[in-house]
Amino acid sequence: MEQRTISAPDVGKVTLIGAGPGDPELLTLKAARALGAAEVVLIDDLVDRRCLVHARPGARIIEVGKRGGCKSTPQAFIERLMIRCARQGRTVARLKGGDPFVFGRGGEELQALRAAGMEVEVIPGITAGIGVPATLGIPVTHRNLARGVTFVTGHARDGAEPDWAALARTGTTLVIYMGLKRLGRIASSLMQAGMKRDTPACAIENGTLETQRQVIGTLADLATDVMDRGLDGPAIIVVGDVVRCAGIAGVVPVRRAA
């Protein structure tokens, strides 16, 4: 009797895509092509929906929002969903704000996908810590002003904080993600560690978008100035002498009355 071989369906591919800091025109050409090939797109809350103009007609768009202080889609669910769709033979795009590997949980997702035997491609994006300060003319490194840059999160899952004293001693530009709600505490910790009160600092909300707002001032006053302006995030905070380079039309540092 002739035996018949039943082959398993082909396993699909998952692409982790960085959408950039906000402005959809900062999406890379490679990212746009990957979106055009995907049958399923899992999109984060902070990604501008205009990026989806590059998605193929009929693609399944799944909202898997994650925003600080709000109810978020569980990370484990997102990972299981990507694996399930790929095992159905579908081409999956995971569209994430900024760069997938800079405070974007892309590393966690890559590990989960590889452990499940998935084919994975990573397409980098412009991270907010570089792209957003650039809108104000702020270079995060400068030969005469900063010998390096340190990217750090102001909000950790376990509630722990970075070693602000150690960071203050580095002499590098500090670019702080997810730190707006703790800005007063962060500034105080940096100054207690010896950072000068008049160190230039800024907070930039909704960077690269039409709704971008910024507050430029000093480390000592920034938290109060941000509160006065009503910035509530998402925002990038930059601390260091490079902030002196800020200077585009319409940018007016906040000055409080004496």
Please provide the distance, in angstroms rounded to a whole number, between the alpha carbons at the two ends of the chain: 96
- Rounded to an integer, what distance in angstroms lies between the CA atom of residue 95 and that of residue 15? 8
Q: In this structure, are residues 136 and 251 in contact, taking their beta carbons and an 8 Å threshold?
A: yes
Backbone angles phi, psi at 144, to 5 degrees: -95, -10
Distances (CA, A) of 103 to 12, 96, 107, 157: 26, 10, 9, 11
Return the active site residues: 44, 66, 178
Task: Count other Cβ atoms within 10 Å, centred on residue 205.
Answer: 21
- Rounded to an integer, what distance in angstroms lies between the CA atom of residue 203 and that of residue 244? 13
Q: In this structure, are residues 93 and 35 in contact, taking their beta carbons and an 8 Å threshold?
A: yes
Task: Count other Cβ atoms within 10 Å, centred on residue 117.
Answer: 10
Beta strands (DSSP E) in 2-83 are 13-18, 40-43, 60-63
Query: Beta strands 213-218 and 200-205: pairing type?
Result: antiparallel
Q: In this structure, are residues 129 and 177 in contact, taking their beta carbons and an 8 Å threshold?
A: yes
- Rounded to an integer, what distance in angstroms lies between the CA atom of residue 244 and that of residue 247? 8
Give, as one character, the DSSP assignment of residue 173. E
